[in-house]
């Protein structure tokens, strides 16, 4: 990264264009003022997932919020890999880690799914959203992944786009994920499905395996925690199909 550019990078939901003004919420203003010790005249970088990344100058910061004026564009918008993560929610600490790392690894959508053996059914989407925003800001990604409300597994697969291959990670007999990925066209859309701590039940396994777009896959001989399995699967997918490939 260019060291002369401001280190602070914020996600805003408003459009960004030279000469425009962007509003900061109370949390962002607090962060700039009290954590990063910025004041009017200082520079920040902004992105909104649509218009690229922009240099901006702080106009004012207060307890209620702040304002910045947008200057020159630093980076054009680029598309991140088209990778969804469907996962049965786990407890708070591993869930927070899972969301943070999945965003760093480039997922475009996080979908909590309720399976038959899911124990944790309540998910604080606002907290996960805040974690996703922070991870996107820190990792320099250009897009903001969507964190969806939890839905039943069957509902999540309703109207599933036929071209999006669903890698259903299973501890039972299944081909290694690295091998299964070899038949995917580079850059094609994909999804990873991770089960709950108790795993998928036999009926779910059978149903999933029969779906034309789903491929049961193994992540090796050891039983991984759900969050470890999710991150391992995302790394494999990004390396074989996503934006970790050379020339991607
Ligand atoms: N006792 C459960 C079982 O045998 O399925 C363990 C579930 S594991 C803690 C949680 C989820 O992580 C699984 O449902 C699966 O999606 C994924 N997982 C864990 N280890 C895996 C492996 N070696 N291969 C594929 N998926 C794995």
Residue 247 has pLDDT above 90, yes or no: no
Over the stretch 35-51, which tens digit does the pLDDT of each residue have? 999 999 999 999 999 99
Predicted structure pTM score: 0.95
Burial of 247 (0-12, 13-18, 19+ CB in 10 A): exposed
Q: Which residues line ligand 1 (CB under 6 A)?
A: 169-171, 194-195, 197-200, 218-220, 222-226, 229
Over pLDDT 70: what percentage of the chain? 100
pLDDT value for 72? 97
- Who wins on pLDDT, 54 or 173? 54
**What angle is formed at CA 138 by the lines to CA 136 and CA 139, rounded to 5 degrees?**
65
CA of 156 to the centre of ligand 1 (A): 20
Residue 94 CA, chain-centre distance (Å), reads: 15
pLDDT value for 4? 83
Residue from 86, 223, 234, 237 whose mutation best tests the ligand 1 pocket (most atoms within 8 A of CB): 223
Distance separating alpha carbons of residues 5 and 193, to the nearest angstrom = 38
pLDDT value for 248? 77
Over the stretch 49-103, which tens digit does the pLDDT of each residue have? 999 999 999 999 999 999 999 999 999 999 999 999 999 999 999 999 999 999 9
Distance separating alpha carbons of residues 241 and 248, to the nearest angstrom = 9
Distance separating alpha carbons of residues 224 and 126, to the nearest angstrom = 27
Contact at 8 Å (CB) between 15 and 50?
yes
Contact at 8 Å (CB) between 191 and 169?
no
Distance separating alpha carbons of residues 137 and 197, to the nearest angstrom = 30
Over the stretch 136-168, which tens digit does the pLDDT of each residue have? 999 999 999 999 999 999 999 999 999 999 999
Distance separating alpha carbons of residues 112 and 36, to the nearest angstrom = 33
Distance separating alpha carbons of residues 66 and 71, to the nearest angstrom = 16
Which residues are bridge partners to 111 per DSSP? 86
How confident is residue 121, by pLDDT bands cut at 50, 70 and 90?
A: confident
Helix, strand or coil for residue 193? strand
Helix, strand or coil for residue 140? coil
Which residues are bridge partners to 125 per DSSP? none
- The ligand 1 atom nearest the CA atom of 200: 14
pLDDT value for 1? 63
Residue from 86, 171, 208 whose mutation best tests the ligand 1 pocket (most atoms within 8 A of CB): 171
Which residues are bridge partners to 11 per DSSP? 47
- Give the CA distances from residue 222 to residues 52, 96, 216, in Å, rounded to whole numbers and listed in that order: 42, 23, 16
Give the mean model confidence (pLDDT) for residues 7-26: 97
The size of the chain, in residues, is 248
How confident is residue 6, by pLDDT bands cut at 50, 70 and 90?
A: very high
Angle between helices 92-104 and 125-139 (to 10 degrees): 40
CA of 30 to the centre of ligand 1 (A): 41
- Give the CA distances from residue 171 to residues 179, 191, 231, in Å, rounded to whole numbers and listed in that order: 16, 17, 15
CA of 89 to the centre of ligand 1 (A): 13
């Amino acid at each position: 990264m260019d060291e002369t550019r401001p280190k602070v990078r914020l996600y805003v939901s408003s459009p960004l264009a030279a000469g425009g003004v962007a509003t900061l919420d109370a949390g962002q203003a607090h962060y700039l003022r009290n954590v990063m010790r910025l004041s009017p005249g200082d520079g920040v970088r902004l992105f909104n997932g649509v218009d690229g990344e922009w240099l901006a100058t702080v106009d004012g910061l207060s307890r209620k919020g702040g304002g910045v004026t947008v200057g020159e564009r630093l980076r054009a918008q680029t598309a991140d890999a088209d990778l969804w993560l469907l996962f049965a929610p786990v407890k708070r600490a591993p869930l927070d880690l899972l969301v943070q790392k999945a965003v760093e690894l480039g997922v475009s959508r996080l979908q909590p799914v309720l399976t038959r053996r899911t124990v944790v059914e309540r998910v604080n989407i606002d907290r996960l959203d805040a974690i996703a925003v922070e991870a996107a800001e820190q990792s320099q990604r250009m897009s903001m992944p969507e964190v969806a409300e939890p839905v039943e597994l069957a509902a999540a697969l309703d109207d599933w786009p036929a071209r999006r291959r669903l890698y259903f990670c299973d501890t039972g007999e299944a081909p290694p994920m690295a091998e299964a990925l070899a038949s995917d066209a580079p850059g094609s859309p994909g999804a990873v499905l991770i089960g709950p701590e108790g795993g998928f039940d036999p009926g779910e396994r059978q149903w999933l395996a029969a779906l034309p777009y789903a491929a049961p896959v193994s992540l090796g001989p050891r039983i991984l925690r759900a969050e470890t399995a999710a991150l391992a699967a995302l790394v494999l997918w990004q390396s074989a199909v996503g934006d970790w490939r050379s020339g991607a």
